[in-house]
Amino acid sequence: MIPYRLHETPLGTLRLCAENGALIGAHFVGQEHDFVLDAGFVELPDDALLRTAGEQIDAYFNRHRRSFELPLAPRGTAFQRAVWDTLASIACGQTLSYGELALRVGKPGGVRAVAAAVGRNPLSIIIPCHRIVGRDGSMTGYAGGIERKTALLAIESRG
């Protein structure tokens, strides 16, 4: 059983999912790479972890929180998890290019592979893939939509 909770944000509804006491998903409903709900998913709006995640997300949107303190267990390959761990180390309000991220991950020639891993990030906002921009600072790629990416960066710049 995978409990989930729908959580309203200023940028749309997030589906928060957990398993074994850790978050495995935070997707805007309908975004690219969202979980496909099957019989294994059960809506549990009062789940303590999912409620705490929602409270921290609200604090982020209200500019009272710049990082998250939640147990995370994103599902992915070792390479994807390495990219996601590196994403998590980018400070709120900062951005990196895909090339800079590839260097930090130790794959300077692997920009496309790094970009693909960024795009598969299952924990939107919490693992800040929105902080990755094009080489020239342009808004490129975000599974939740460029408008949301721009809005998230604006929230952080006003921090």
Helix (H) or strand (E) holding 25: strand 22-28
Taken in order of first residue, the domains within the chain and their CATH numbers are 2-61 (3.30.160), 78-157 (1.10.10.10)
Task: Give residue 157's pLDDT.
Answer: 87
Helix (H) or strand (E) holding 157: helix 146-157
* Residues of the chain with confidence (pLDDT) below 50: none
34: which 2 tokens?
A: 């969202």
Task: Give residue 159's pLDDT.
Answer: 54
Task: Give residue 69's pLDDT.
Answer: 96
Task: Give residue 111's pLDDT.
Answer: 92
Whether residue 92 lies in the annotated active site: no
Helix (H) or strand (E) holding 3: strand 2-9
The residue to which tokens 């994807």 are assigned: 80
Catalytic residue among 129, 133, 152, 155: 129
